[in-house]
Structure 1
Amino acid sequence: MLKKLIVILLVPLLLFPLFSKPGSAADWQDDAIYYVMVDRFYNGNTQNDQEVNIDDMNTYQGGDFAGITEKLDYIKEMGFTAIALNPVIQNMNGDYTGGSPHDFTAVNENYGTMEELRKLVKEAHDRDMKIMLDFQVNHVGEGHPWLEENGKKDWFHEERAITENGQTDKQETGWLDGKPDLAQENPEVSSYLIDAAKWWIKETGIDGYRLIYMNYVPQSFWEEMISAIREDRPDFFFIGDVDADKAEKLGIGMLDEEQMTGMREAFSTTDVEMDSLFKRWETLFGALNTPYTTGISVDTERTERFTKETERAKQFPGTRWKMALTYMYTMPGIPVVTYGSEIALNGGEKPDNHRMMNFRTDEELIDYMKQLSALRKEYPALRTGDLELLQSEDGMVVFKRETEEQTMIAAINNSSKTKTIQLDSAFIQDNQELRGKLNTDLVREQNGTFSITLEREMAEVYLVEKESGINYGFLAVLILVPIAFILFLILARKRGRQTN
């Protein structure tokens, strides 16, 4: 009888796994992604430093898979739940960025071995973190041996520079930065690339691909590749640098470069109107069924650092970063943060924007990022809630994120002056108050309005909850504790006298 009971209890556990596999496409909207340029992060294994030259920023500096594995706890403690890596396939011409592919089914040995990459993925999964890889299929490295190999000359388009990015045919067939352009319309080429994409998933157990240079490759290829991978891994996640219409047709997340440009303009200095950012979200909500998997960045590995933008505007980078990060973590979408942002790493054009990470630095911005991550994790409305702009005035915005169960209000004063915005109580239910979760502010309704006052370059995130009124229990404790202590002293003195 006991054996039958044990079997009955175990059957549901066998049918329904206790833990979901990291990388479920449905829950990426809850994630925050930390983007790592492998070579510029941390050197964890000096045995693979054969091509390292720390005096030349245009070549390898020593970062590797082992280094990222060693720093997983550092990344997790900042609140990141996923890590994206630049292309890790075997490269040529000393290209530390991974942008000059040589063999699509071999690892870049300057980053480490396949075993070390597998260990990184496993260690990340053990921490409930996901790993995604950049995957680009547009081109190979300059002087690739396939150009001279019999039977492979038709793998490439005729050499021609891309001169007009607005024309699809020129984008899809031209040579980007002089690199041989692959002809994905050739069935042999498409099969090779799709097989390679599936090979990395099978060999490493990664959870997603960050697809780059998507607009330089025919849409038909992406449809074929994504469909082929989803046949085996329906939970596999894709996000790419593509416009909203194409992202919707492919059913993938998009890296919103238009919003990134707007964010850089708005947050690199003060007193900039932010209405255009919210209009952009109106467009995205209208174009996408899943706007919550839109990647939100203020810089990438292909742009100058946001810190450089703030420096150019003669602003203090740490404060500017706080404003930008508050926006990223309270708006819909997935925050995608480039390594080094937590220390306001600076840098202009490549390779200056790929400086080596520094782990010995002030942690004020890191602590702020941890605080924002904790808020986003604790309050679902910040991840999946509807978005409504309540007020925008001279560089200060107040907006609402709301689900059926929860309402949050975020206020960002990105101006050079202390500002007050009056919110009509019609936006908020009766007997409610705004309780600050970032800086412990408290706002209550007075004469039909909620007055939100913020000093210059400050932000607050409020939870809308039932008005607490006077906390009589807390007041009672404040009164009773000292009374009890005094009584204790009196009794102790009396006992002391009796003893004597």
Structure 2
Amino acid sequence: MKFWATSSAALLALNIVGALDAHGWRQQSIYQLLTDRFSREDDVEAPCNLIARQYCGGTWKGIIDKLDYIQGMGFTAIWISPVSANLPEGYHGYYTTDFYQINPRFGTAQDLKNLSAELHRRGMYLMLDVIANHVAVPRRSKFRPSDGTWGVFNQDDDFHKLMWCRDWDNQLEVEQCWLGEKGDIALPDLNTENPKVVLELQKIVHWLVQEFSVDGLRVDTLKHIRKSFWPDYEKAAGVWCTGEVLHGDPAYTLPYQGSALSSVLNYPLYFTLRRAFQSPDGFMIELTDMILRIQHEAVDPTTLTTFLEFHTVPRFAHETSDEALRLNALAYPFLGDGIPITYSGAEQGYSGGEDPLNREPMWLSKFDTSSRLYSFVARLNAARALA
């Protein structure tokens, strides 16, 4: 593996030519998809056992084949699953093993480059999901960093000592504990106080962006690493980043914008938006208050990323059968402040419940462009583009 920099200072001095800045991303509309569940390159309407939590066959080539479908709704960027090598159970991309190896279940490195190139040919942009907080190991296995499974992270002090999260109000514990206590997979926490680990993570994200011509990043588990780690990470990436801070209190979430990354996912608005539109007697006053509070407290509310659903939460259509409420809720991210994200399947009325039932394969919808919701989303994007 070759790198263009041998020190942190030299690495951070390199920028990605032509990358979209915050203003550029403010103009975009993002379509999020799970690579494994979006499109198979053989175009077979294969069954997918959601409960089994296994690969169902979606690939980067499959995405390329369906870009007309995405672009037909007016989306200008796609957010895809993490691309690094994963455990066999990691169909979603979040069970990283070696950060420098590409997940062969999604295709080859050239396939990913082809996807990026085709997006750019169309005037669209590629957002990559990235992980810096942890790697993954089956709970039944002994975790030995020195066995080489985790690539450059091969020493005991590359990881925090095993400690499961107990006190979610203890920020130091949140930043150093391991995730995955209740599942079959444990997520050993990288020691991001170790200068070696910090530099390696910067090299990894820089390589990913450069190698695959990535335009922006969605950063996983932001609150699980100290805030001071993130500005240099974003500089190393050289592209605009929005990060996941899974917390509904704007006093906790919003300070990560600016002090950590350029943008965060607007979870405070998400929780309030869902409550407001779940029933005719929804909490509209609460929604109004939250909008005003975010406008007042956020560094830049127009570059927060806004959403109604994605792959970690139940579909909104699972929570209410009222079509008017569903349409209004779906419309809000396009019409309010912020950069809208739409999770694939919303335009086909998918209504899956808790994970893994909210990860339905898109090919079973036959990518129907005649559906009412598909046209509705296209009109929302068209209206936003004129604003």
Find out whether 1:356 has 2:361 as its counterpart.
Answer: yes
Q: In structure 1, what is the equivalent of residue 33 of structure 2?
A: 36
Distance 1:158 1:116, change over 3 A: same
Does the 8 A contact of 1:34 with 1:337 survive in 2? yes
SS in 2 for 1:336: strand
**Which amino acid letter does the alignment assign opposite residue 365 of structure 2?**
F
Structure number with the bigger relative contact order (C-alpha 8 A, sep ≥ 6) is 2
How far apart are 1:290 and its partner, in Å?
1.9
Distance 2:358 2:128 in 1: 20
Q: Which has the higher strand share?
A: 1
Q: In structure 2, what is the equivalent of residue 419 of structure 1?
A: none
Match of 2:314 among 304, 309, 314: 304
Distance 1:101 1:250 in 2: 23
SS in 1 for 2:97: strand
Q: Which runs of 5+ in 1 are unaligned?
A: 1-19, 380-500
Match of 1:328 among 322, 328, 333: 333
Match of 1:261 among 264, 271, 282: 271
How far apart are 1:251 and its partner, in Å?
4.9
Distance 1:22 1:248 in 2: 19
Deviations 1:338-378 (A, max 9, x none): 11010121212221111111333561011111111111111
With normalisation by structure 1, the TM-score equals 0.66
Does the 8 A contact of 1:81 with 1:130 survive in 2? yes
Q: In structure 2, what is the equivalent of residue 286 of structure 1?
A: 296
Find out whether 1:181 has 2:189 as its counterpart.
Answer: yes
**Which amino acid letter does the alignment assign opposite residue 340 of structure 1?**
G
Does the 8 A contact of 1:102 with 1:141 survive in 2? yes
Distance 2:19 2:68 in 1: 17
Does the 8 A contact of 2:231 with 2:261 survive in 1? no
Distance 2:62 2:142 in 1: 30
Q: In structure 1, what is the equivalent of residue 287 of structure 2?
A: 277
Bigger mean CA offset, 184-193 vs 55-64: 55-64
Q: In structure 1, what is the equivalent of residue 7 of structure 2?
A: none
SS in 2 for 1:210: strand
Does the 8 A contact of 1:53 with 1:59 survive in 2? no
Q: In structure 1, what is the equivalent of residue 183 of structure 2?
A: none
Find out whether 1:156 has 2:167 as its counterpart.
Answer: no
Percentage identity across paired residues of the two chains: 29
Q: Which runs of 5+ in 2 are unaligned?
A: 1-16, 149-153, 181-185, 246-252
Aligned residues between the structures: 346
How far apart are 1:183 and its partner, in Å?
0.5
Does the 8 A contact of 2:22 with 2:303 survive in 1? no
Larger Rg: 1
SS in 1 for 2:99: strand
Distance 2:172 2:221 in 1: 14
Q: In structure 2, what is the equivalent of residue 147 of structure 1?
A: 145
How far apart are 1:144 and its partner, in Å?
8.2
The alignment's C-alpha RMSD in Å is: 2.2
Bigger mean CA offset, 238-247 vs 21-30: 21-30
Q: In structure 1, what is the equivalent of residue 206 of structure 2?
A: 198
SS in 1 for 2:129: strand
Match of 2:20 among 11, 19, 23: 23
Match of 1:88 among 83, 88, 96: 83
Distance 1:266 1:293 in 2: 22
Bigger mean CA offset, 283-292 vs 334-343: 283-292
Does the 8 A contact of 2:242 with 2:263 survive in 1? yes
How far apart are 1:282 and its partner, in Å?
2.0
How far apart are 1:88 and its partner, in Å?
1.2
* Aligned 1:46-445 pairs, distance under 5 A: 54-55=48-49, 57-142=52-137, 143=141, 146-149=144-147, 152-177=155-180, 178-229=186-237, 233=238, 236-242=239-245, 243-310=253-320, 315-316=321-322, 318-357=323-362, 358-360=364-366, 361=368, 363-379=371-387
Q: In structure 2, what is the equivalent of residue 458 of structure 1?
A: none
Distance 1:87 1:251 in 2: 19
How far apart are 1:21 and its partner, in Å?
4.0
Distance 2:219 2:317 in 1: 25
